[in-house]
Amino acid sequence: MLNWIKISISGIIGILLLQVGYAQTDKKDKTLLRYDRVRQDTLGVSYEQRTYRNPYNGFLELRYALTDSSSQVYVPLFQGVPIASFQKKRNHIVVTPLEEENHRILGIQQWFPFREYKLDFSLLPQFTAKFGNYDNPVEAKINLLLNTQLYLGRGLALTTGITFPIINDLDKQSMRLRMAPTFLNKFLVFKRSNFMSISAGLFYKDQYGINVQYRFFDVNKHWSFGLEGAYTGYYRISGEYFEYQKPEYVLLLGDISYRMYKHDITLKLSGGQYLYNDRGIRFDLIRQFTNVEIGFYALKTTNGASVGFNFAVPIPPGSIVKTKHFHLRTADEFRWEYLYVKGYNIGERYRTGYQLDEKLRMYHSSYWNNQLRSNL
């Protein structure tokens, strides 16, 4: 009788452990659906994720999904281009710029790699506001963008979508559905720590044209610097109408940044020519937290002087629907900037899909290691 009870208990425990194992395996398989182009070879695990604003979160989650407790090397991709290698060694993450030969081997190697990436859609809220009107203290314009991004080649992506207007008491733009900002972007890395972003098309803030950004950024250094040049003009999509003016605005900016490791604070001094031929300088103080970024800035230009703040936060819930070939999610971040205006068109600029310095500082070794230490 006792033997029969022991056998029964052992069988029940075995079944429970088996079910737990299946549940864990199923959970890990579902986790991997958030990732694209996961490859493992002698150089390590290369992968791309578009869900998390903080790439460190993606790194941790992928290690869990792959049941990795070793010192495996991981190489995150952006638009199919490797950024650097990341390797966890005990209580430290070693971040290393890739050698040129290894850089060429990893990432997208062909045109139109549609089989390697899911059909990806993201929801992005858009908020523009003007404060201070006595009759209408907050004049707001709120849209919801349903965007998609198609990878056409190594580093080359087409971003487009649909804009759903929600509120507009700021200007006379139509409340009808319209095409969202649509542009091509080429992301490049060369000679280890040199990065470029080249964009052409219809940008945010009603500007169209071409934008080129360059940045020297070493993932282990305090200093970085960059240049940005653009030639743009005004456009507006309103209902069935598309209006535009010939390009007339030259934007030419340079900056130098210093990073304070302990608290992930970046001090940035930039200057040059902004939109509308406005020239001047700007100083930013940026603090990176685990998932949130907050910045304060002051600027002085020919059009006036002012101060302001900005922030970037992740948009919950992240993944909404995910399968092997389809992913609907919220955009990785919502970014907003406020300027206490004491003039007209002070330091005005527009946005493409991303600013190169904002993207790259998410991969700095101090940012990853500070997060690792805080979780120990």
pLDDT at residue 19, rounded to an integer: 40
Written as one letter, the residue type at 212 is V
Residue 131's pLDDT band, with cuts at 50, 70 and 90, is: confident
Tell me the pLDDT tens digit for each residue of 53-73.
Answer: 999 999 999 988 888 777 889
State how far the Cα of 64 lies from the Cα of 71, in Å rounded to an integer. Answer: 13
Residue 132's pLDDT band, with cuts at 50, 70 and 90, is: low
The pair of structure tokens assigned to 132 is 């201070």
- Let me know: does 140 contact 127? Beta carbons within 8 Å: yes
State how far the Cα of 272 lies from the Cα of 287, in Å rounded to an integer. Answer: 24
pLDDT at residue 71, rounded to an integer: 80
Write out the DSSP string of 25-85. HHHHHHHHTTEEEEEEETTEEEEEE-S-SSHHHHHHHHHHHTT--S--EEEEEETTEE--E
Please, what is the average pLDDT of the chain?
A: 89
Written as one letter, the residue type at 220 is N
Tell me the pLDDT tens digit for each residue of 241-258.
Answer: 899 999 999 999 999 999
Q: At what angle do helices 55-65 and 2-32 cross, to 10 degrees?
A: 140
pLDDT at residue 134, rounded to an integer: 60
Residue 128's pLDDT band, with cuts at 50, 70 and 90, is: confident
- Let me know: does 241 contact 263? Beta carbons within 8 Å: no
Residue 371 burial (C-beta neighbours within 10 Å; 0-12, 13-18, 19+): buried
Least confident interval from 60-69, 221-230, 307-316: 60-69
Q: Is the dihedral of CA 338, 266, 288, 39 positive or negative?
A: positive
Q: What is the pTM of this model?
A: 0.89
Q: Does residue 5 carry a pLDDT above 50? A: no
Write out the DSSP string of 314-364. --TT-EEEE-SSEEEEE-S-EEEEEEE-SSSSTT-----S--HHHHHGGG-
The Cβ of residue 324 has, within 10 Å, a number of other Cβ atoms equal to 9
Listed residue (250, 258, 256) closest to 281, CA to CA: 256
Q: Does residue 17 carry a pLDDT above 70? A: no
